[in-house]
Amino acid sequence: MRALASAGAFAAGLPLLQLAPRGEPHPVLVLPGLMASDTSTRVLRIWLRRLGYPVVGWELGRNRGPTQEIVDALPRLLDRLAAEHGTAVSIVGQSLGGIYARTLARRVPRQVRQVISLGSPFGSGNVDDTAAARVYRRYSSQHAPNARTTQRRSTARGSLAGPLPVPSTAVYSRWDGVVDWRACRQEPGPRSENVAVHASHLGMGHDPAVLWVIADRLAQPRHEWQPFRRPTRFGLGALFPPEG
């Protein structure tokens, strides 16, 4: 029901979204959430193409967690995109896709322009008690052994929530409904920020506030990144709740 509300808000806000910022065209990789495929990010990718960005999905089918195929394929996909376009790639990851994005940014920072995570539970919070965590554990036997070890170490240190070597924006919502919103925030810093929205977990890929944040972040000059500022025109600021 919350996702449907976001879809309705998208339709109503589409005229205003035409005013969203546009920046230098550069490749954007969009990663889906747990148990989702590229179908779940179709609206988001169409939206970004209309803004002038060359956008791709991950083309790896349904996301069942860090299987060996995914662990091996994502760095190769990033290599290919960076080589084809001759520049670093922005990565937008929804839920578990955002965790992949942050991992890639740590592994190959020269190929990553920035990371934007949408409701991704990479930080501290009641992660193990959520519905998403239970589904994730159901498929843990299919996950790559080194991915399981890395996840345990990252969770123990909280390393994924620490500052990345590239600019990063963590979008979260107190109305998430699937994961603990507190686990979706990172340590703020000179190039790391948290942005609150009213969206549901499943609706983040087509929520107008989320789409505006993504457009604004992608429009940032590569070497002149600045924190997000809520839009004030046409009442758009009402889409964003206070931080905290």
Residue 219, domain member (yes or no): yes
pLDDT of residue 129: 66
Q: How many domains does the chain have?
A: 1
Query: Beta strand pairing status for 112-118 and 89-94?
Result: parallel
**% of the chain surpassing 90 pLDDT:** 68
Residue 102, domain member (yes or no): yes
Residue 79, domain member (yes or no): yes
Domain containing 50 — which CATH number?
3.40.50.1820
pLDDT tens digits, residue range 202-231?
Answer: 999 999 999 999 999 999 999 999 999 988
pLDDT tens digits, residue range 114-163?
Answer: 999 999 999 876 566 676 777 788 777 888 887 654 454 444 435 778 89
pLDDT at 54 over 70: yes
Higher pLDDT, 244 or 132: 132
Residue 244, domain member (yes or no): no
Please give, one letter per residue, the 3-state secondary structure of the chain.
Answer: CHHHHHHHHHHHHHHHHCCCCCCCCCCEEEECCCCCCHHHHHHHHHHHHHCCCCEECCCCCCCCCCEHHHHHHHHHHHHHHHHHHCCCEEEEEECHHHHHHHHHHHHCHHHEEEEEEECCCCCCCCHHHCHHHHHHHHCHHHECHHHHHHHHHHHHHCHHHCCCCCCEEEEEECCCCCCCHHHHCCCCECCEEEEEECCCCCCHHHCHHHHHHHHHHHCCCCCCCCCCCCCCHHHHHHHCCCCC
Higher pLDDT, 235 or 104: 104
Residue 72, domain member (yes or no): yes
What is the residue range of 220's domain? 2-239
Collect all residues with Cβ–Cβ distance below 8 Å to 7 and sequence separation of at least 6: 203, 206
